Amino acid sequence: NVSITDYPNDLVKGLIFNWNGTNFTHYNSSLLLAINANNFSNIGDNETNVADISSYSYNGSCRQYQTSSGSGQGSYTFSTCNYSTGKYNGGLNFNGVNQSVFIIDNNIGEAAHNFSVMAWVNITTAVDLNSPYRSIISSGGPGTVFEMNFSSSNFTFFMTNDTNTVRAASNSAPTLGLWYHLVGIYNGTNLLLYVNGILQDNGPIFSGKTTTISANNVSIGNGFNNTGPRAFFGGYIDEV
């Protein structure tokens, strides 16, 4: 076991493992976001924030969306992070109604080049008529740049711009109460979706820059549309 402690100096910018003369990079500046959600105060997790352990420190704020009576419009309020058991150590538990983690405007969502999105998820709240799909992680606000979500039929990873939306979908529907490892990849041309390490789609082609949206916020636990948040996730999310 190896422990590296540098908080709060943030001087660790990379981690390379050498095996029989071959370097394997586990951590460098290409990692834009890494949230373990273990509720470890020594790395910055606390009652209202989850720490990003990448070198960029895009820490997330836990919040709830409150809708005004009769108007359909609402606003966010900061809330207590609902830490729980995750796939590895701790994780985050979302109620499927109004909870999410918000990472404010940054370059994570400016996906003009290759990128990947990963998370462990365990779904406890099914889709319904009001929410035919539920978002796991998304970038946008308002509007969407990319999103990973699920419906009663499959998991989906999609990207969009002003004129084009492309989706990569899983081959089967998710089961409540099971852990799934999801990876969405944009390799500069194609979208790929892996579920538990198995490629699910043939890689639909996405052309052009993703979006003209100027504010590329990232949200864990809900999606965006042109008017506000939607598709709140119910269950556990870990290792984003």
pLDDT band at 131 (very low <50, low <70, confident <90, very high): confident
pLDDT recorded at residue 106? 59
Who has greater pLDDT, 72 or 180?
180
How big is the CA angle at 236 (ends 30 and 175), to the nearest 5 degrees? 110
Higher pLDDT, 236 or 165: 236
Q: What is the pLDDT of residue 213?
A: 45
Angle at 31 between CA 80 and CA 226, to 5 degrees: 60
**pLDDT for 212:** 45
Residue 49 pLDDT greater than 60, yes or no: yes
Choose between 67 and 169: higher pLDDT.
169
- pLDDT at position 88 over 60: yes
Least confident of 17-31, 42-56, 74-88, 161-175: 17-31
Whether 108 contacts 218, CB under 8 Å? yes
Angle value at C-alpha 159, between 153 and 165, nearest 5 degrees: 80
Structure confidence by residue, pLDDT tens digits, 158-195: 887 666 788 899 999 999 999 999 999 988 888 899 99
The better pLDDT of the pair 116, 226 is held by: 116
How far is 30 from 21, CA to CA, in rounded Å? 23
Contact 104, 207 (CB under 8 A): no
Burial of residue 16, with CB atoms counted within 10 A of its CB: 0-12 exposed, 13-18 middle, 19 or more buried: exposed
- pLDDT of 162 reads 64
